[in-house]
Amino acid sequence: MTRRTRKQASRAEGRAGSTPALRSRSEREAVLTRFRQAVARMAQGQFDAELPEEGAGGELDALGQALTELGRSLTRRFDELERLNELTERLHATVRFEEALDFLFEALRPLIPFDRMGCALVRGGGAERYRVEAAWARTLGTVVKIGRGYSAELAGSSLERLLATGEPRILEDLEEYLRTHPESASTRDMIEEGVRSSLTCPLRSRGRALGFLFFSSFRPYAYKRRHIAFCLFIAGHVSTLIEKAELYEQLMAARAELEEANARLARLASVDALTGIANRRGFDRQLRQAWRLAQRKRLPVALLMMDLDGLKPLNDRQGHLAGDAWLRRVAEVLENALLRHSDFAARYGGDEFAILLPGTDREGAAAVADRLRREIAAAASANGIEGGTVSIGVAAYQPRREDRAETLIAAADAALYAAKAAGGNRWIANDPLLDRVPDVAD
């Protein structure tokens, strides 16, 4: 037997010894048919197709094993892509920075090895030196040395170089890194947290340096080159998220400023410039609210319409500045005399004031009117105001659903005119339903 013949026989024996050869052509065709069917299913995306890995003989065994491993690898890859698509959709729907990173912490753990995840942002600029500030961090450990608010100068650091290159960095063994870089306080802190290896990815968008995304593991050599592409993919989305969050914060700040400006304008529009208490517009709004509340809770609501008896003679004698001063003093008396938070005083117009008393019946309103009349008279005497008395019309009513607030105003007005006609310096109570003036006090 020649040397070549002996080698061929040896190879045949080796194959026969490792995997039994198919004994018939029909068996071989059956195996090939299974291969064709499995490959066809894989072409349609069914990567878990069952393939004959043994018993087919020689190269077919090896092919079956290779295709099976390829199917498993593709299945894993497509599962990862599906997770990434779901993750991307979730991130695009989120504008809150911390909420999105909390989601990433849970969603990424099946895809990349880490026990700690953090995000730091670049702060400063202009006259202020640039620094890196921890904006968010979560760990599976119990020790936290680098938490939110932790900051370090960027200039001269290894992170500054990472921003310049835009390339991620793997530190396979932090303890070894600290031995060669003993000046790195942040590395020392990370080791105290239990971290032994890390993957750091710069965050950039449209040429602007935003910060860093950190993946850290409690074991050394956790990260491989294949993790870098994945990290860059996530970093791109986080960079977009940071810009969205910044824009959202700016919009919310602008909205808050606008709302505050509108609120100030509304307050100014509802405040009487002379006396500092509510004006007619403010009174109308407050009356509508009190009226609806009284209708809903079936409570009474009272209104006092008050007129300054001697304002015109005061203006004629001492001038309008003196009259304005007396109007301001009366407003002060009203503000100080109203004891409940819900009571409301307003300058109704000219020399008239309105006092709204939610949840007050006619007897209670009459008592308030009498007290106000006496206190204003005392203030007039103390300030030397001749004829500084007031006339007050009182009306109180428990409104029904179909009633209108104008009914209460009309009743109080009628009582006020009656008080003025009776000589002033008195209060008169009116009944909105009977349109009569039953009670008079001077």
More confident residue, 393 or 47: 393
Q: What pLDDT is stored for residue 390 in this prediction?
A: 95
Residue 272 counted as domain residue: no
Instruction: Check pLDDT > 70 for residue 78.
Output: no
Structure tokens at 212: 């860093």
pLDDT at 166: 86
- Report how many domains make up the chain: 3
Q: Give CA angle at 21 (16, 23), nearest 5°.
A: 135
Q: How far apart are CA 201 and CA 193, in angstroms?
A: 20
Going by C-alpha positions, the residue among 307, 304, 334, 308 that lies closest to residue 412 is: 304
CA-CA distance, 264 to 258, in Å (whole number)? 10
- Distance in Å from the first CA to the final CA of the chain: 145
CA–CA dist 318, 312 (Å, integer): 10
Q: Say which range, 173-177, 264-268, 380-384, 407-411, has the weakest mean pLDDT.
A: 264-268
**At residue 359, does pLDDT exceed 90?**
yes
Task: Answer positive or negative: Cα dihedral of 309, 314, 320, 324.
Answer: negative
The pLDDT assigned to 33 comes to: 76
Same domain membership, residue 106 and residue 56: no
Return the minimum-mean-pLDDT range out of 19-33, 211-225, 317-331: 19-33
Asked if residue 85 is part of any domain, the answer here is no
Are 59 and 107 in a shared domain? no
Alpha helices in 270-347 (DSSP H): 280-297, 311-318, 320-337
Q: What is the pLDDT of residue 437?
A: 43
d(CA 201, CA 90): 21
CATH number of residue 186's parent domain: 3.30.450.40
pTM score, whole prediction: 0.50
Please give the mean pLDDT across all residues of the chain.
Answer: 83
Average pLDDT over residues 105-119: 89
d(CA 39, CA 33): 10
Q: Is residue 39 part of a domain?
A: yes
User: Residue 263: pLDDT above 60?
Assistant: yes
241 and 368, same domain (yes or no): no
Verify that 195 and 221 share a domain, yes or no.
yes
Q: Pick the closest to residue 366 from 277, 437, 423 (CA basis).
A: 437
Task: Tell me the residue ranges of DSSP E strands in 175-221.
Answer: 197-205, 208-217
User: What distance in Å separates the CA atoms of residue 30 and residue 119, rounded to the nearest whole number?
Assistant: 57
Q: Which residue has the higher pLDDT, 252 or 80?
A: 252
Residue 243 shares a structural domain with residue 217: yes
Domain closes at, from 79, 109, 144: 79
Are the CB atoms for 173 and 182 separated by under 8 Å?
A: no
Q: How confident is the model at residue 43 (pLDDT cuts 50, 70, 90)?
A: low
DSSP count for the chain of H helices, then E strands: 13, 12
The answer to whether the Cα torsion of 45, 50, 56, 57 is positive or negative is positive
**Same domain assignment for residues 291 and 237:** no
pLDDT value at residue 36? 73
Share of residues in the chain with pLDDT > 90 (%): 46
Question: Mean pLDDT across the stretch 407-429?
Answer: 93
**What confidence category does residue 7 fall into, taking pLDDT thresholds of 50, 70 and 90?**
very low
Q: What pLDDT is recorded for position 244?
A: 78
**CA dihedral sign, ordered 89, 94, 97, 103:** negative
Buried (b) or exposed (e) across 3-27, using 16+ Cβ within 10 A?
eeeeeeeeeeeeeeeebeebeeeee
Name every residue whose Cβ is closer than 8 Å to that of residue 117 and which is 6 or more positions away in sequence.
101, 104, 105, 108, 137, 138, 139, 213, 214, 215, 216
pLDDT attached to residue 269? 85
Q: What tens digit of pLDDT does each residue of 236-259 get?
A: 888 888 887 778 788 888 889 989
> CA–CA separation, 427 vs 366, rounded Å?
8
Tokens representing 61? Answer: 């065994």
Rg (CA), the chain: 43
pLDDT band at residue 278 under the 50/70/90 scheme: very high
* Residue of higher predicted confidence among 182 and 242: 182
The enclosing domain of 366 has a CATH number of 3.30.70.270
Question: Is 268 among the domain residues?
Answer: no
- Inside any domain, residue 263: no
Mean pLDDT of the region 74-90 = 66
Contacts of 107 (CB under 8 A, 6+ apart): 83, 86, 87, 90
Q: Based on the fold, state whether residues 200 and 299 are members of the same structural domain.
A: no
Whether 92 maps to a domain, the answer reads no
- Taking each helix axis as running N to C, give the angle between helix 280-297 and helix 406-421, from 0 to 180 degrees, rounded to the nearest 10: 120
Residue 255 in any domain: the answer is no
293-306 pLDDT, tens digit each: 999 999 999 999 99
For residues 102 and 171, state if they share a domain. Answer: yes
- Per-residue pLDDT, averaged over 225-235, amounts to 86
Question: Which whole number is the average pLDDT over 262-282?
Answer: 88
366-374 average pLDDT score? 94
- pLDDT confidence bin for 80, thresholds 50/70/90: low
Give a yes or no: residue 256 inside a domain: no
In 10 A of CB 254, how many CB atoms? Answer: 10
- pLDDT tens sequence across 421-436: 999 999 999 865 544 4
pLDDT higher at 130 or 241:
130
Q: Higher confidence at residue 170 or residue 206?
A: 170
Determine the angle formed by the axes of helices 59-92 and 25-43, rounding to 10 degrees: 10
Q: Domain limits at 20?
A: 3-79
| pLDDT value, residue 246 | 79
Confidence at residue 12, expressed as pLDDT on a 0 to 100 scale: 43
* 423 and 285 in a common domain: yes
If pLDDT is split at 50, 70 and 90, which confidence band does 110 have?
Answer: confident
Domain boundary among 200, 232, 249: 249
pLDDT band, residue 339 (cuts 50/70/90)? confident
Distance CA 147, CA 149 (A): 6
Token pair for residue 84? 């990434």
Q: Mean pLDDT throughout 394-404?
A: 91
Same domain, 189 and 111: yes
In the listed set 249, 268, 296, which residue is the last one of a domain according to the structure?
249
Confidence of residue 17 (pLDDT cuts 50, 70, 90): very low
pLDDT tens-place string over residues 44-53: 666 665 665 5
**Strand partners of residue 349:** 352
Q: Are residues 187 and 230 in the same domain?
A: yes
Q: What pLDDT was estimated at residue 332?
A: 94
For residue 439, the model assigns a pLDDT of: 45
Lowest mean pLDDT among 81-85, 131-135, 201-205: 81-85
Question: What would the mean pLDDT of 30-45 be, rounded to a whole number?
Answer: 70
CA atoms of 56 and 59, how far apart (whole Å): 8
Q: Are 430 and 284 found together in one domain?
A: yes
Burial class (CB in 10 A: 0-12, 13-18, 19+), 204: middle
Structural tokens at position 3:
């040397």
Question: Which residue type does 45 have?
Answer: G
For range 210-233, the mean pLDDT? 91
Give the distance, in angstroms, between the CA of residue 314 and the centroid of all CA atoms in the same chain.
Answer: 57
